[in-house]
Amino acid sequence: MATSTPENAQLAERARLSIQNSGLVQREVARHIGLDETKLSKSLAGTRRFRPTELTDLADVTGVTVNWLMSGSDQTRGVSVPPPAMILPTRHAENSDQAQKRRAIIESAWWLLARRGYSSVRIADIAAVCGVSTASVHYYFSTKREIFAEVLRYSVKLAFDRQIAELHAITEPVSRLKRLIELQLPAGDRGRAEFSIWLQTWSYVAVDESGKENHAQGYRRWIQTVEDAIAFGQEEGVFVEVPSADLAIELTGLVDGLGIKVLTGMLTSDQMFRHIENFIDRTIVKAKGSNK
């Protein structure tokens, strides 16, 4: 049973509000996030603590961020740098039914684009997966490129939600940095899909100026989050005294390169993580007895 605290009560209140505003009933939310309805009821009453994965799933289903659930604001600065509003999923003045349909289109498009690639997916394919007409998809999105831009925003939100839900409870700097990187591995279906979307975005912005700002905003947020985690370890005296910005560039570059090797079958995600852990231990963690 969760300890009754003001923070837990506030989180439960915001969770109830997110469900109410989504237009879903509690039973539907429980089914969507794979949680027993009795356990969800206890969490919504503040007598059971949400697990990190439950928070991320709840935020996904109801269209809010984990940051809002935990702090009451999308922009609260914590263990993960908040994305600017322009790179979070676009907010629209619409009723709950319309909002649910929009989210369903984006999630379906996210999976299709990740697995089959931008050029191989038609709007008709997205409509078929959602069980709606092509005209219905066009009601929400004018073009496939507009859908892809929203899919990228969705990917940013997914990463941000995971980081906020998990990292705040990890206070040891090495463990926090390694877990931050582990959360971004192309591991499992969702991890590979998310990395695929980023890889396709890199390919697109390399030859087209129109998507560069959204990509840059999202990527800068990621690098800054890594830099903050490194700076935290330096403040605690366990990381080397090298500019945190330089170390963040090197570490994120390694993640990008190894991630491509995983998606192309040259490495497994476990092998990728071992390489990254070795890099952190060898390059970022201060050697025992060292003052540098």
pLDDT digits (tens, 9 = 90+) for 80-111: 999 988 889 988 888 888 988 999 999 999 99
What's the pLDDT at 278?
98
Note the pTM of the prediction, 2 decimals: 0.91
Residue with tokens 């899919």: 151
Q: To 10 degrees, the CA torsion angle through 72, 78, 81, 84?
A: 20
State mean pLDDT over 120-127.
96
- pLDDT classification of 209: cutoffs 50, 70, 90: confident
What's the pLDDT at 292?
62
State mean pLDDT over 73-85.
91
What's the pLDDT at 1?
47
What's the pLDDT at 139?
95
Which alpha helices (H) appear in 236-279, and where do they start and end?
A: 244-263, 269-279
Sequence-distant (6+) residues with CB within 8 A of 47 are 1, 2, 4
| Better-scored residue on pLDDT, 93 or 41 | 41
Is residue 2 over pLDDT 60? no
Residues forming a β-bridge with 239: 285
- pLDDT tens track for 155-181: 999 999 999 999 999 999 999 999 999
What is the rounded CA–CA span in Å between residue 23 and residue 27? Answer: 12
Contact at 8 Å (CB) between 219 and 213? Answer: no
Is residue 229 over pLDDT 50? yes
What's the pLDDT at 289?
63
State mean pLDDT over 250-277.
98
- Mean residue pLDDT of the chain comes to 93
b/e map of 101-121 (b: 16 or more CB within 10 Å)?
A: bbbbbbbbbbbbbbeeebeeb
Is residue 238 over pLDDT 90? yes
Is residue 237 over pLDDT 70? yes
Distances from the Cα of 137 to the Cα of 97, 108, 109, 121, 122, angstroms: 14, 11, 10, 14, 11
Which H or E run includes 113? helix 96-116
Is residue 69 over pLDDT 50? yes
What's the pLDDT at 77?
87
